[in-house]
Amino acid sequence: MHGTTIAVGQPVGASLREQARVLRDQFTRAGTLVVNLVSSPGAGKTSLLEATARHWAGRYRIAVLVGDLATERDAERLAPFVPVRQLTTGGACHLELPLVLRGLDELGRPPLDFLFIENIGNLVCPAAHDLGEHLRVVLLSTTEGDDKPGKYPKMFRTSQILVLSKADLLPYVPFSIDRAVEDARLIQPALRTVSVAARQGTGIEDWCRLLVDERDALLEANP
């Protein structure tokens, strides 16, 4: 009797990651840009999605999957503007691929230009889970403090776009956009940034243009 060592050298959750890669490739081929929105609770993800849907007003084919532990509130808010399904996790603090796949089936897998996944409000756990997205967008609102990016290294490291939300509150809070961006870029120098005030519509055009540019780049790279 002896112990035999079997070398593995795989990330934990490798098979789920592979499934996420496969899903991403499928969406790439279908011309759908998949966006994973992350933030703390209340930073403005749903408001941003509402403003996006209203701005485009049907110009693009979009759908939303929104994740929460409980309630269908976000889906109800968005339903007048965009096809949406609520993903209810029960206790889980982050979305995982199987639940996203189920939501896609419920949507009926229509052809889309953009698929938005609104993650659970949480800057910690969602960072480690690939949902098949092309773009990870992290929202940081002006009421959260400009010293936060450094506290959530994995989330900011794995994101490509930083949306500074609730910009209309800047006169009332000790938040410096420059400090927040500098802090975030120490972790992820490639972060692109945009400031928005979703309820006023400020910055929404820039944000939407960024999304269109990202999708164009994806389509160009994958003819």
- Binding site residues, other proteins, CB under 8 A: 1-16, 91-94, 96, 124-125, 127-128, 150, 153-154, 157, 185-189
Burial zone of 24 (CB within 10 Å; 0-12 exposed, 13-18 middle, 19+ buried): middle
Residue 3: CB minimum distance to other proteins, A: 4
Residue 115: CB minimum distance to other proteins, A: 23
When the beta carbons of 4 and 108 are compared against other proteins, the nearer one is 4
When the beta carbons of 55 and 154 are compared against other proteins, the nearer one is 154
When the beta carbons of 79 and 125 are compared against other proteins, the nearer one is 125
When the beta carbons of 41 and 153 are compared against other proteins, the nearer one is 153
The DSSP 8-state label assigned to residue 66 in this structure reads: E
Task: Please provide the DSSP assignment of 126-191 as one string.
Answer: GGG---S-SEEEEEEETTS-TT-GGG-HHHHHT-SEEEEE-GGGGGGS---HHHHHHHHHHH-TT-
Going 34 to 39 to 45 to 48, the CA torsion angle's sign is negative
Residue 200: CB minimum distance to other proteins, A: 33
When the beta carbons of 79 and 187 are compared against other proteins, the nearer one is 187
Residue 105: CB minimum distance to other proteins, A: 21
Tokens of 101: 């796949």
Cβ contact 87:36 at 8 Å: no
Residue 31: CB minimum distance to other proteins, A: 30
Cβ contact 165:198 at 8 Å: yes
